Chains A and B, each alone.
Chain A
Amino acid sequence: MLAKRIIPCLDIKDGVTVKGVNFVGLRNVGDPVELAARYAGEGADELVCLDISATLEGRKTFASLVERIAEVIDIPFTVGGGISSAEDAGRLLLSGADKVSVNSAAVKRPELINEIASRYGSQFIVAAIDARQIDGRWTVTTHSGSRPTDRELFSWAREVVDRGAGEILFTSMDNDGTGKGYPCETFAALSDMLPVPVIASGGAGSIRDIADVLTTGKADAALAASIFHYGQISIPQLKTELSLLGIPVRLH
């Protein structure tokens, strides 16, 4: 049976992991390579690294970092942040990424998804969608939820899949960072509608929240950052408890 995936996410700025990391035994808590290896060793099913550098210098550092991370981990590796052309995606593929995720750039120019998918295949492209409810309508947003667009979540999700996205990473900006759980009904509707996997992101505060989105919410995977970084929940503990709840996960 296909296992539900647990995916830690590293936000990287100028080559250093942002957000506090509460791991015992790491020489340098901000070193993304060491963290990546640590997560892979602990049973993460995939790793996502997002570049949030604002400078050209920072972006260059990220490319070489992707290369070093790809060398040490033996699980699938998704990278995102600042990808606005098929060439950007191609460079990351050569650096060792297995998939790229695109977000705002695709909202701005949807053809980007077709361009990447036709050149490298749908399995290589994850469309990340941030949305929040405005007057009862799930509105796609950019810039960390601060800028609403005129797109609606479900029609945009359908469009990016039609354009060739192989997975959807959906973050509810109403829940992100709150630790109050995921909007499971919305996830279930999205997952039922789409022929590709849906990754749930943003909002997890407990193991129960993750269990809920993987069952009631019908998500194929759950992505989280803070709960792992701050050591609230460890990956082995999470997977063991999910397994006890009858959710199929890959255990070591």
Chain B
Amino acid sequence: MTAIIDYGTGNLRSVENALKRLGAEYTVTSDTGIICSADRVILPGVGEAATAMKALKGTGLDRIIPALRQPVLGICIGMQLMCSRSEEGDTPCLGIFRADVRHLASPAVAAGEQIRLKIPEMGWNSIFRPGGESSCRLLAGIEDGSYVYYVHSYAPDICEDTAAVTEYGRPFSAVLARGNFFGTQFHPEKSGGIGQRILQNFLEMTGTCRQYPEK
């Protein structure tokens, strides 16, 4: 059974619909007991970083999520919360992925930028694995250059956990992976057949994964 974490910041309908289409068993919950005992956990993407982080802290999920040993997938803001910190509201995050989240038009990025970026990035953009092939299980069967659907104004930098990259103004982490933790900056639930395959890959992950090594 897959637990979709409901941390009260928005609508989880599209993630639910996607899991339904895949015939997956799931539950939408904020119950820490159910989350801890689920086979897989999805931290969906809704809202804004500072508010979302506050909501996680309010329920103790900020301590529970990093300790989970089953496969965990963060989507959009969900993945950003799993990073070190976010520029949005200058928010310290869960610190699972070793990346900072920055605005797409962050001054450090936009310097020298010739074309004006439309923000948020809204639409379909392509993903590439850094250095070609990668063994990330979430991306099994996904070809480089595949298009996925984005709606976001912030994105994680490239880091050692980056499993796929997208470029919009600058290259950013499209997919992050570390041990049992995965994240997508795009919305797989809205990304057609490619997104369905990515979710399917996640749903096929079972059991206790190797947890990421302690620093």
Residue numbers of A with Cβ under 8 A of B are 1-3, 5, 40, 43, 45, 70-72, 74-76, 93-96, 98, 122-123, 166-167, 195-197, 220-221, 250, 252
Contact = CB atoms under 8 A, between A and B. Distances in A.
B120 interface: yes
Nearest to B21: A74
Contacts of A166: 120, 122
Interface string B93-111: 0000000000000000000
Interface string B157-186: 000000000011000000000000000000
Interface stretch (B11-19, B23-31, B57-65): B11-19
A82 B201 CA distance: 40
A2 B121 contact: yes
A94 B13 contact: yes
A220 B119 CA distance: 12
B122 A123 contact: yes
**Closest 3 pairs (CB-CB, A-B):** A250-B147, A3-B124, A250-B124
* B contact residues, range: 20 to 34
Contacts of B151: 76, 123
Given A70-B13, A70-B17, A123 B120 contact: yes
B190 A98 contact: yes
Contact of A3 (B17, B120, B125): B125
Contacts of B17: 70-71, 96
Interface string B17-61: 110110000000000000000000000000000000000000000
Contacts of B191: 74-75
Contact of B11 (A94, A220, A252): A94
A94 B16 CA distance: 12
Among A2, A71, A94, A221, max chain B CB count under 10 A is at A2
Contact of B123 (A5, A40, A98): A5
Nearest to A3: B124
Contacts of A75: 149, 190-192
A76 B195 CA distance: 12
A56 B16 CA distance: 29
Contact of A195 (B14, B119, B123): B119
Contacts of B21: 71-72, 74
- Of A1, A74, A250, which is in contact with the most chain B CB atoms at under 10 Å from its CB? A74
A96 B118 contact: no
B116 A76 contact: no
Interface string B123-136: 11110000000000
